[in-house]
Amino acid sequence: MTRGPISDDSPGTALFPEYATLYPLIASEVEGLTEGQLDFTSDRWGWAEWSIRVQLSHMASLIYRWLLLRWGDTLFPDDDHGVEDVQGLANSGFDRRLDDNRYWELPVIMEKLEQGIGLARRVLAQRNVGFLRSHTLVHDQSPQWELMIKAHPRGIELSDQPGKGVMRLEASMRHIYFEEITHLFNIQRLKRAQGLRTVAELPRVGYWTVEGWDVSEP
C-alpha cells in the first residue's frame, strides 16, 4: 500500500491502488476447483473449519457489510449504491457470509465478490483522502482485534466503551483489503492440505503477517 505523502485532495485510490488487482488475484487461486475441493474442511486446524467456498462467501459478504451496513449512511446517504438484495449479501444470518440459499455456486459467489470489490473501488475513486481520514465510526472489537490493530499504521483507536473501537474510513478500507488477503492465505492453506498447487503470490500484508497470528501449515 502507498506509504508516501499524499494530500487530502488526492483520490482514495492513491492510498489503495492494490484494489485494482485484488479480484484477479483471488480468482486465479480458485479457478478450476472441483466441488469436493471447494467444500473440503478438516478439524485438524482451526483455519480449516471453513471450506474454500465459505471463505469466498465471507470475503464477498464482508465488503457489503462494511460499506453498506456500517458506512452506508456516510457513503450513500441517498441509498444510491445500486446494490440489490443487501440483506442476502450483507446480513443473511449465515455466519457472516452470503445467503447460502441464493449464493452457493462458485460463479455466483465470484460474481458477488467482483461486484463488491468494484463497489470498494468506486468508493475510493469518488472520495478523497481527506474524506477517508475525517470520518469515523464506533465498531465492536473482539479480542482478536488486539492482534489485528498491529497491522494498521493508523486509523483505529480505542473507545472508552468496553469492547468498542473508533475506526476511520481509511482504516475500514484497509481492513477490507487485509481481510481479503488473509482469507486468500487460508484458501491457499486449504489447497495445500488437499495436495493442490497454489497459484497466487500473496502480498506480504494483512493480518496473516502479524506476529502471533496462526500461520500453521498442513
45-65 pLDDT, tens per residue? 999 999 999 999 999 999 999
pLDDT for res 3? 54
Q: What are phi and psi of 138, to 5 degrees?
A: -95, 130
Which three cell numbers mark 42?
Answer: 478438516
Asked if 16 and 173 count as a contact pair (C-beta separation under 8 A), the reply is: yes
Q: Residue 208's pLDDT is what?
A: 98
Give me the residues paired with residue 168 across strands: 136
- Determine the pLDDT at residue 160: 79
Helices and strands (H, E) in the chain, number of each type: 9, 3
Of the chain, the percentage scoring pLDDT greater than 70 comes to 98
For residues 53 and 40, is the Cβ–Cβ distance under 8 A?
no
Residue 5 identity (one-letter amino acid) = P
d(CA 35, CA 55): 14
Asked if residue 48 lies in contact with residue 194, where contact means CB atoms within 8 angstroms, the answer is no
Q: What is the pLDDT averaged over residues 156-164?
A: 84
Region 180-201: mean pLDDT is 98
Could you give the C-alpha distances from 37 to 145, 169, 205, in angstroms and in order? 31, 36, 26
* pLDDT greater than 90 at residue 2: no
